[in-house]
Amino acid sequence: MVWNLKQFADTLSFFGALPIINLLQPAPRVAITVRDNVIFDFTQPQPDYALAWGSLDDVVMGGSSQSSLVIRENAALFTGIVSTANAGGFVSVRTRNFDPPLDLSQFQGISITVKGDGQRYKFFLRDSTGWDSIAHSCSFDTIADSWTVVTLPFVEFVPVFRARRVPGAPPLNLRYIRSLQLMLSKFEIDGRLNPHFQPGTFCLEIAKISAVP
């Protein structure tokens, strides 16, 4: 099934998040850089942050889930409602393609400072500008109502396409990272269920996304 992103953009509306149509249309250049190992510091948000993120939920495949990334004064909230109705079951927020791309070749992984809700989330990296393209995925667990620093080594990222492993995929080009994505999904990889998934409201509070030296 081909994702109809235009139809999704025309129908989706939620809680002040950047609509996906804004991510697809030409817009001012979003230049995110790594400073002191930090990629996004939501404790001190920059103007480009509001342009950088938008939602990409199961509405593209007929589901009814809704999510947003709400940037507040000291953190960002990835929040909304995830539903398994109509064969759905995932929500995500994704960055616009970085211009220029991020060069993470001198780093060992990604660290995320989060306050979770006890569910398991996914983090994706892409070295392609395509929206429906191979991504490199790594899952992480959260502790309800507790701040933790989650470390995701690059060697643990798995190439996937629509939640299916891609054998023989080229290695992630760490010199050319074009986008980041956070997801809450009913599924892990290759049809396995997420053991900590709970439909309904969810909230992942994010303080920082950093590169691990």
CATH of the domain at 154: 2.60.120.430
pLDDT at 29: 64
**What pLDDT sits at residue 1?**
30
The parent domain of residue 115 ranges over 5-212
Shortest CA distance to 39 belongs to which of 53, 26, 28? 53
Which spans in 44-193 are helix H?
47-52
Closest listed residue to residue 77, CA positions, set 33, 126, 115: 115
pLDDT tens series, the chain, 213 aa:
333 444 334 433 333 334 444 455 444 567 788 999 999 999 998 888 888 999 999 988 889 999 999 999 899 999 999 999 998 999 999 999 999 999 999 999 999 999 999 999 999 999 999 888 999 999 999 999 999 999 999 999 999 998 999 999 999 999 999 999 999 999 999 999 999 999 999 999 999 999 999
pLDDT of residue 46: 86
Answer yes or no: are the C-beta atoms of 67 and 17 closer than 8 Å: yes
Q: What global pTM score does this model have?
A: 0.87
For residue 201, give the 3-state DSSP assignment: strand
Q: Are 136 and 165 in contact (CB under 8 A)?
A: no
Q: Looking at the 3D structure of the chain, how many domains does it have?
A: 1
Which pLDDT score, from 0 to 100, does residue 6 have? Answer: 42
CA-only gyration radius of the chain, Å: 16
Three state DSSP letters for 18-70: CCHHHHHCCCCCCCCCCECCEEEECCCCCHHHHHHEEECCHHHHCCCCEEEEE
Under 8 Å between Cβ of 196 and 89: no
